[in-house]
Structure 1
Amino acid sequence: MKVKVTGIPVNDQEKALKFYTDILGFVKKVDVPISADSRWLTVVSKEEQDGTEVLLEPSPNHFEPSKTYQKALFDAGIPYTQFSVDSVQKEYERLIDLGVEFSVVPTAMGTVKIAVFNDTCGNNIQIIEML
């Protein structure tokens, strides 16, 4: 078994697509309409275009428990997921220059360094560097 797709709930798919591609640097992989206001919309790492796809899932708009869970995580400052980077400090500086808001600045924690930012679509996302 291996992970092919993992989902992140987003409250606006178009806004999420712009953030995840234009700001974070992911590449759009699949974009298929599934209803009048929803798409099967995935992005992948530019460095691993055949790797795991991130589904920008509109579930908060269609399933109230998902919306409640997403908001509770966000309000508590808990990241919905994490992405690996080579250098948290360099990525932090790059994203700050692009106007991304961080709730946790680069912080060493044992064998890792982390930072947490707002993806503008209802989620805290953590970036992590193995030290």
Structure 2
Amino acid sequence: MSASRSHTTITDIGTVGIPVSDQDKALEFFTGTLGFDKRLDLRTGENFRWVTVAAPGAAVSVALIGNGGQGVGQDTGIRFMVPDAEAEHTAMRERGIEVGELLRWPGVPPMYEFKDPDGNRFEIVEGSA
């Protein structure tokens, strides 16, 4: 018996959503503190707002999902790429962003963790996108 193979028409990742307790506060952190671009800020009805941000020039955006604080403070699994992890680590720390230790392992690019105001965790990894 042979298994049939499914094919997809999926071609890319467009947006990754993260939970935030306050979309305005998260938007200020990502655009003001991190320097991301606001891609979209749309209210669709009385209780729903779709907000996306992205690193300048990035193809993939991050949706700031307002959900009253449920599910915040998690490891997002998102890895942002930088050309120089040590320089970005220093710059983030100087801007008051909570950063972890800069990790350097043989054969692995330098990396570190940082947190947004909700405690959501992200990784910075040195290398090309």
TM-score by length of 2: 0.79
Considering only aligned residues, what root-mean-square deviation do their CA atoms show, in Å? 2.1
- 1:89 maps onto 2:99 in alignment: no
Measure the CA separation in 1 of the matches of 2:19 and 2:94.
Answer: 25
- 1:58 maps onto 2:66 in alignment: yes
Q: 2:50 — aligned with what?
A: 40
AA aligned opposite 2:110 = K
What SS does the aligned partner of 2:103 have?
strand
Measure the CA separation in 2 of the matches of 1:80 and 1:13.
Answer: 20
Count of residue pairs brought into register by the alignment: 117
* Larger proportion of strand: 1
* Larger proportion of helix: 1
- 1:8 maps onto 2:15 in alignment: no
What SS does the aligned partner of 2:38 have?
strand
Matches within 5 A, 1:68-79: 70-71=72-73, 73=74, 78=75
Measure the CA separation in 2 of the matches of 1:91 and 1:43.
Answer: 19
Q: Deviation string for 1:81-112 (max 9, x for gaps)?
A: 2211111111111111111112x221113321
Give the deviation of 1:16 after TM superposition.
Answer: 0.6
- 1:128 maps onto 2:125 in alignment: yes
Unmatched 5+ residue regions in structure 2?
1-10
Q: 2:103 — aligned with what?
A: 107
